[in-house]
């Protein structure tokens, strides 16, 4: 009944309730994939950052060792009586990099490290001189000069150890050399991010190419 001062309150019909429920389900279905992508992206970023930090540490350790060893010690050159340890320089650098990559807690699968490059950098620290020595992953351990086994073997080489120097105005260069260590790595997604991206129409690859490089200058001395 209605009368003066009274209001009428209409109850929602069953059809109206069903419509609201349907709308809620549609909105939920649209938001869930987006939420999953955001969540998985945050988790994946953490994993990838951990891998990148390990690569950075490994390249820095290799460059530090390389800058310290220079051309092997002794008089410059590789003739009799000159730089008697020159042939051991690059293997020692690779051993240092390999040690970091295989250390306890390292997340790096070595089979996904395609290359370690030892290169000469210019005065600005850039890899523009085209002089480098490549070491590539090998499933069978490679034995170094001292019996140490590493997961990489020597490949193409265009930068002789005997041409590296920390002496200014010597017979090889007009300035102190800089050595760089670059690691090329393929990171594989740990979470189902690629599948989640496809749910919202994205196209996400399941791998990410990573490269980390560290350049250090040899400590200069006068000749």
* Alpha-carbon span 151 to 162, nearest angstrom: 25
Can you give the pLDDT at residue 171?
45
What SS3 class is residue 55? helix
Can you give the pLDDT at residue 203?
64
In the chain, which residue ranges form alpha helices assigned H by DSSP?
A: 14-69, 89-101, 193-199
Domain extents in the chain = 23-222
* Alpha-carbon span 116 to 182, nearest angstrom: 6
Look at 16-30, 56-70, 79-93, 112-126 and tell me which has the smallest mean pLDDT.
16-30
Q: Which of 102 and 68 is assigned the larger pLDDT?
A: 102
* pLDDT band for position 216 (cuts 50, 70, 90): very high
pLDDT of residue 123 exceeding 70, the answer is yes
Can you give the pLDDT at residue 222?
57
Number of Cβ atoms within 10 Å of the Cβ of 155: 12
DSSP of 162-213: GG---EET-SS-SS--EEEEEEEEEEEPSSTHHHHHHHTT----SEEEEEEE
* pLDDT band for position 93 (cuts 50, 70, 90): very high
DSSP state of 12: P
* pLDDT band for position 207 (cuts 50, 70, 90): confident
Model confidence pLDDT, tens digit, residues 167-204: 765 544 556 788 999 999 999 988 877 766 665 666 66
Query: For residue 134, what are the β-bridge partners?
Result: 117
Can you give the pLDDT at residue 18?
58
Model confidence pLDDT, tens digit, residues 30-67: 677 778 778 888 898 999 999 999 999 999 999 999 98
pLDDT of residue 133 exceeding 50, the answer is yes
Q: What's the mean per-residue pLDDT of the chain?
A: 82
Sorted by sequence, the CB contacts under 8 Å of residue 185 that are 6+ apart come out as: 51, 55, 108, 112, 113, 114, 209, 210, 211, 212
Query: Closest Cα partner for 118 from 97, 104, 99, 102?
Result: 97
Q: Which of 109 and 162 is assigned the larger pLDDT?
A: 109
Cα distance between the two ends of the chain: 111
* pLDDT band for position 76 (cuts 50, 70, 90): confident
Q: Which two tokens stand for residue 188?
A: 């594989």
Sorted by sequence, the CB contacts under 8 Å of residue 164 that are 6+ apart come out as: 70, 71, 89, 120, 172, 177, 179, 218
What percentage of residues in the chain have a pLDDT greater than 70? 76
Contact 188, 48 (CB under 8 A): no
């Amino acid at each position: 009944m209605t009368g003066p001062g009274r209001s009428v309150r209409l109850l929602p019909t069953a059809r109206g309730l069903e419509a609201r429920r349907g709308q809620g389900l549609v909105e939920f279905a649209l938001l869930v994939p987006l939420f999953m992508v955001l969540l998985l992206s945050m988790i994946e970023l953490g994993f990838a950052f951990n891998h990148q930090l390990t690569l950075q540490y490994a390249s820095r350790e290799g460059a530090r060792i390389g800058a310290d060893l220079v051309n092997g010690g002794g008089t410059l050159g590789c003739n009799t009586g000159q730089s008697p340890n020159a042939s051991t320089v690059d293997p020692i650098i690779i051993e240092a990099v390999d040690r970091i990559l295989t250390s306890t807690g390292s997340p790096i699968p070595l089979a996904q490290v395609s290359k370690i490059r030892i290169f000469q950098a210019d005065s600005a620290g850039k890899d523009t001189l085209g002089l480098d020595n490549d070491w590539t992953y090998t499933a069978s351990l490679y034995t170094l000069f001292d019996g140490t086994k590493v997961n990489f073997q020597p490949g193409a080489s265009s930068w002789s150890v005997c041409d590296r120097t920390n002496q200014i105005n010597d017979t090889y260069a007009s300035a102190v050399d800089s050595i760089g260590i670059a690691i090329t790595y393929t990171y594989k997604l740990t979470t189902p991010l690629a599948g989640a991206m496809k749910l919202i129409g994205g196209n996400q690859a399941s791998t990410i190419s990573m490269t980390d490089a560290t350049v250090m200058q040899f400590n200069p001395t006068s000749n």
